[in-house]
Structure 1
């Protein structure tokens, strides 16, 4: 009620109550200080919010079939041994699947004449306390004569909890020059041997060697990117005695030649390995 409209009796009664409350407040004594000997009230500890648990990735095999696409992805049990490695593998598989689904969705409500397909298998190559290596091989089909090869290799260092990349392993350009020279020699020799075995005519042999040399030299330019897929070869003591570099179709040869590999021994590698990783190699 607006005080200006209140009856006089009510207004006077309200003023008296207010005056009485002010008087009582003025007479109230300050509380006596706490006894020195009495224990003080323990302060209430501030509670901090619980930190969120680290996100984990558990890899599981995937089999999915529709009239528009087919997806098959498989993992070895060791893929879940290390959380960081599982995330790296899962991210690779997710990216491969995303590209497949992008092609599928481009059809809108239509469907491809044959189901698009993603086939990807992860396999354990090495598993020691110092080094774990996983190979990924498969293909993604989105039309055409054949699928796109999916070739990847993952080297994990459990004690450092990190993936070992080619660029970290061999940090200097001269190292890649030495590796490139060795790999090129092996690949050129393999082409010449195959030409001899196929008993080609001199003209056919010359054409094969010429075309192969162009692809080999282009795919083995001395950069870390051209040698990004590799797995270690271990000796009986668990040391790296060589690295097996993997080249997918089209990198150093035509699609018909498939995936090609070259094993480079530790004797070629060691002068160029970063010091922090030299201890992993046999001498």
Structure 2
């Protein structure tokens, strides 16, 4: 029953919220700081330094770790630092506000954020940002972002650029929903709930899944490349923050979409990045099959 009440409350809250259109850089999870976004093609100064941050005062505690060798790509390094700086500044401002008359005066606020490398090839560099920002309440707000950098083009790759047509997002949405609904059914079956309670839980959780996976790139803005044996991409792993497709207790959820689902909908310029796509130009001659032997 406790799980049912939580799902109902979250579903109602989620239906009242609308996400903003996809920005040109990774988005942050609901309730987390939204860093400023610049032109994805802008080259950052070469002197961007990614230095770990460790701060502790009576009002807040901050820990930021850069476990990535991204400084060789100044544009990527600038985006990572911009994200971290925005999260840090938001936490400090929140800590200042609570010291004002009428503000809260409980335990120190805290921010924990770590950047880790997911992929590093000549064509694609991917970095994950994961952490949380606590500014009161039952738990911290999750901080989740994904950065996919194209070194040869010196810019970030966004979901909108990768899949430009609405029909592509319809296909991806259908596939992802099927996987999430299947996972939901398995979780609910494991809880062994009475039939009426099970039906209500599935109803509310299914609505969260459908609301959080609309066929729009803004719902799929967080993604990770999946490596193929030949160094290209075997698919994409879409990342959904807590509250997007399920309650906070379900945590971050992911769905892997294989290349055969993605390929018909990829923008032509990005198809060579994927393992099932021909590396040669579309007009390159195709070798004839060998003649049958007698």
Category of TM-score, reference length = shorter chain: 0.7 to 0.9
In the alignment, what sits opposite 1:83? 74
In the alignment, what sits opposite 2:84? 93
Of 71, 74, 77, the match for 2:65 = 74
Q: Distance in 1 between matches of 2:56 and 2:154?
A: 36
Q: Distance in 2 between matches of 1:230 and 1:89?
A: 16
Q: Distance in 2 between matches of 1:77 and 1:150?
A: 17
Q: Once the 2 structures are TM-superposed, how far is the Cα of residue 109 of structure 1 from its aligned partner?
A: 6.1
In structure 2, the gaps of 5 or more residues are: 1-43, 277-294
Contact kept, 8 Å, 2:130 with 2:145, in 1: the verdict is: yes
Q: Distance in 1 between matches of 2:98 and 2:106?
A: 11
In the alignment, what sits opposite 1:279? 272
Structural mapping, 1:1-283, within 5 Å:
54=45, 56-108=47-99, 112-283=105-276
Q: Once the 2 structures are TM-superposed, how far is the Cα of residue 56 of structure 1 from its aligned partner?
A: 2.5
| CA displacement 1:16-61 (0-9 Å, x = unmatched) | xxxxxxxxxxxxxxxxxxxxxxxxxxxxxxxxxxxxx945211011
Segments of 4+ moved more than 6 angstroms:
none
Q: Distance in 2 between matches of 1:127 and 1:55?
A: 20
In the alignment, what sits opposite 1:47? none
> What is the aligned-residue RMSD (CA, Å)?
1.4
- Equivalent position SS for 1:146: coil
CA 1:77/1:246 → structure 2, altered by over 3 Å: closer, same or farther? Answer: closer
In structure 1, the gaps of 5 or more residues are: 1-52
| CA displacement 1:119-148 (0-9 Å, x = unmatched) | 101111111111111001001100011010
- Equivalent position SS for 1:106: helix
* Structure having the higher Rg: 1
Q: Distance in 2 between matches of 1:54 and 1:193?
A: 49
- Equivalent position SS for 2:186: helix
Q: TM-score, normalised by structure 2?
A: 0.76
Q: Distance in 1 between matches of 2:105 and 2:169?
A: 43
Tell me: higher relative CO, structure 1 or 2? Use CA pairs within 8 A at least 6 residues apart. 2
- Equivalent position SS for 1:267: helix
In the alignment, what sits opposite 2:40? none
- The alignment of Structure 1 onto Structure 2 pairs a total of residues equal to 231
Q: Once the 2 structures are TM-superposed, how far is the Cα of residue 81 of structure 1 from its aligned partner?
A: 2.7
Q: TM-score, normalised by structure 1?
A: 0.79
